[in-house]
Amino acid sequence: MTQPARRFAVIFDRDGVLNVDTGYAFEPHKLEWMPGAKAAVARVNRAGALAIIATNQSGIGRGYYREADMEAFHDEMLRQLEAEGARIDRIYFAPHHEDAAEERYRVADHPDRKPNPGMLLKALAEFEVDPLDAVMIGDKETDMEAARRAGVAGFLYRGGDLDAFVAERLATLMGTDVS
């Protein structure tokens, strides 16, 4: 019996990692990429790893914007990535918050809302990725805590060229040069 091929994954936080965190980013025409972000996603794709987003979106729960607004923002991200020959394999989001305006989103400690690992665990299960074969790249300690709780290596991105940052992490993760 043959073993299934190993699958690698890079799980990105969204705001502050892929796009500039303007505070509740949801308007497609205001999408601004972090330096090297599109190239970083393309690098992950070329390496044969999954590119996944796991993002808290409490602005939905708080009533600042609708889920449809977030989806339009994501559609624009995906469109611009596709124009660069890159893709995101899946986007997971957590609209929950303890102070949510809508009752359906009003949850004090939802398992998907980082620092809880729910979104990461769903991604690992859905794509059959061993936690040791995945990394989380985030800009907040909550991202790192979610990664720790999911058994995934977490790397704190503090700005700069995301492509260079991802190249180093991919080489370590996959044990090969991923230029």
Binding residue numbers for Mg(2+) = 13, 15, 139-140
Those residues with Cβ within 8 angstroms of residue 112's Cβ, 6 or more apart along the chain or in another chain: 92, 94, 96, 118, 119, 122
Do residues 103 and 119 touch, judged by C-beta distance below 8 A? no
Residues contacting residue 14 through CB under 8 Å, at least 6 positions apart: 25, 53, 55
CB 134 within 8 A of CB 153: yes
d(CA 130, CA 157): 23
Task: Evaluate whether 146 touches 124 at the Cβ level (below 8 Å).
Answer: no
89 as an active site residue: the answer is no
Residue 161 bears catalytic tag: no
Active site residues: 13, 15
